[in-house]
Amino acid sequence: MIQKNRVKSFDFFVYFISKLKEMTTINLKKQLIQQISEIDDHAFLEAIKTILDSKSKIYQLSTDQKSEINKSKDQINQGLLIGQKELDEEFEKWANEN
């Protein structure tokens, strides 16, 4: 019986998600909150929580990583960058020399 409820819940979830593609983000959030508040299936709610937790991970950068990002931003602000086309040309030139 529990497995059957999970299958029904999952089928509903898949159907629900397919219909949500047409909605705006704000409307989608409102509808999700409303529908989640009506779900009593603990296992299904745990599955939703797992999905949400996987999307809300915050990645911590090391001091060195932050420093490298800041150096790169400074280089961009100083105009010290190269376009993809120029980079490709330089690479081809280098590759042909070696």
Q: Rounded to an integer, what distance in angstroms lies between the CA atom of residue 19 and that of residue 38?
A: 18
Encoding tokens for residue 22?
């047409």
Give me the pLDDT at residue 75, please. 92
- What pTM value is reported for the model? 0.36
Residue numbers of the chain with a pLDDT score lower than 50: 1
Q: Rounded to an integer, what distance in angstroms lies between the CA atom of residue 48 and that of residue 36?
A: 9
Give me the pLDDT at residue 89, please. 92
Whole-angstrom CA distances from 21 to 10, 14, 16, 17, 25 are 17, 12, 9, 7, 9
